[in-house]
């Protein structure tokens, strides 16, 4: 299939339809402070609607919803969207798009937002610095792992370990990470320890209308060559995840902030030592991106165009809702090796979107 291309035919500044707070400063939380100033262009594709006045409808509803999302003003490109990670995360992205869609469908819809993440994660004078991995020339490729392949991966792991009730994120992480480590060994001829860092969503622990970054690091490591096995990678990830859940259970909001800071510092310190090859994972699955209905139906596909970060992996729901799409960003040289990995291609295939 031929790849899709999105052409910009015009540009227009959309201003909030109602006055936004005057002389008010938007305070960044410490998670906002440390988040890299990166953009991940997101696009939702729809079947062609019968209404020919779509652009005007979207402009009007965007103008209205921006009154509730005033820090977002000036950062949106309809109908694709590109928001800085400095002010929002994937959870906020989905909430904004669904609120915009609801505003388009329902004239009296009023979004509920609170830009108060700084009250839960107070800003710091000297926050930790996440190492800048946006340096080398990178390429992003989307791969799909079907529900059938996910089932096969789960069977392999459950048969060879004590880990049960596996999730698609766990087995997809293990597959991608194992293949990524193979690239490292192919380049150097030697084993190098590697670090899996997942961004763990903390929004469920706070009011769900809170806008701002809310995450902690979930770190697990592969330290010896004989650990480069799917069951071991999953077991380490599950152990780290369960540890975080036990720590967060019944924890007050101020302690959650401290815990998030400690988890991030731990990951940053490991990366700075340069003894491990770091891989950063995050997930946009189950966030409602396929529920974004502007009045002409739900999207037939939602995708990220690219990521600027080396060794960055983002999981997304695929249109069927059963498999998983995986956006992988590596250096150009590493991607040439990675995309030819036989084990990867046994379970995953590259996604090339049709313009239809």
- Angle at 320 (CA atoms; ends 325, 339), nearest 5 degrees: 25
Marked catalytic residue, from 32, 250, 293, 334 = 293
- C-alpha–C-alpha distance, residues 249 and 261, integer Å: 17
Cis peptide before 236 (omega within 30 of 0): no
The reply to whether 85 belongs to the active site is yes
Q: 10 Å Cβ neighbour count for 43?
A: 18
Please answer whether residues 287 and 316 qualify as being in contact, where contact means their C-beta atoms are separated by less than 8 angstroms.
no
Please identify which of the residues 32, 85, 89, 232 carries the catalytic annotation. 85
The strand ranges marked E within the chain are 42-45, 138-145, 194-201, 215-222, 277-283, 301-304, 312-317, 324-331, 348-350
Determine the Cα–Cα distance for residues 290 and 32; give it in Å rounded to an integer: 26
Helices 147-159, 230-248: crossing angle, 10 deg rounding: 90
Instruction: Tell me if residue 198 is catalytic.
Output: no
Report H helices in 35-167. Answer: 54-65, 90-105, 117-120, 147-159
Task: Please report the DSSP string for 292-341 in residue order.
Answer: --SSS---SEEEE----STTEEEEEE-TTSSSEEEEEEEEHHHHHHHTT-
Q: Whole-angstrom Cα distance, residue 256 to residue 266? A: 15
Residue with tokens 């009154």: 67
Contacts of 223 (CB under 8 A, 6+ apart): 193
The overall longest dimension of the chain from CA atoms, in Å, is: 62
| Local structure of 198: helix, strand or coil | strand
Structure tokens at 310: 């080396």
Residues 6+ apart with CB under 8 A from 36: 85, 130, 132, 134, 309
Q: Which residues are catalytic?
A: 85, 293
């Amino acid at each position: 299939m031929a790849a899709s291309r999105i052409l910009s035919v015009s540009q227009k500044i959309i201003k909030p339809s109602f006055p936004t707070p005057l002389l008010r400063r938007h305070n960044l939380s410490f998670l906002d402070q440390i988040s890299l100033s990166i953009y991940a262009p997101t696009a939702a594709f729809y079947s062609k609607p019968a209404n020919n006045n779509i652009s005007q409808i979207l402009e009007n509803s965007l103008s209205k919803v921006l009154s509730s999302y005033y820090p977002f003003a000036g950062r949106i490109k309809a109908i694709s969207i590109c928001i800085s990670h400095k002010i929002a995360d994937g959870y906020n992205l989905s909430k904004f798009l669904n609120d915009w869609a609801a505003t388009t469908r329902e004239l009296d819809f009023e979004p509920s937002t609170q830009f108060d993440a700084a009250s839960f994660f107070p800003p710091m004078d000297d926050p930790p610095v996440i190492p800048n991995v946006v340096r080398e020339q990178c390429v992003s490729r989307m791969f799909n792992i079907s529900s059938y392949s996910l089932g096969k991966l789960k069977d392999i792991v459950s048969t060879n370990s004590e880990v049960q009730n596996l999730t698609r994120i766990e087995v997809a992480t293990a597959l991608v990470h194992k293949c990524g480590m193979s690239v490292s060994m192919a380049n150097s001829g030697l084993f190098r320890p590697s670090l899996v860092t997942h961004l763990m969503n903390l929004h469920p622990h706070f009011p769900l209308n809170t806008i701002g970054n809310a995450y902690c690091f979930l770190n697990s490591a592969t330290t010896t060559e004989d650990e480069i096995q799917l069951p071991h990678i999953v077991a380490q990830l599950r152990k780290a995840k369960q540890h975080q859940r036990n720590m967060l259970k019944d924890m007050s909001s101020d302690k959650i902030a401290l815990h998030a800071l400690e988890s991030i510092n731990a990951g940053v310190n490991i990366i700075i030592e340069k003894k491990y090859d770091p891989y950063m994972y995050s997930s946009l699955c189950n966030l409602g991106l396929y529920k974004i209905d502007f009045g002409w139906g739900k999207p037939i596909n939602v995708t990220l165009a690219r990521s600027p970060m080396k060794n960055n992996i983002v999981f997304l729901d695929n249109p069927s809702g059963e498999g998983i799409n995986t956006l992988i960003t590596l250096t150009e040289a590493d991607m040439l090796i990675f995309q030819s990995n036989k084990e990867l291609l046994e379970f995953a295939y590259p996604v090339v979107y049709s313009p239809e």
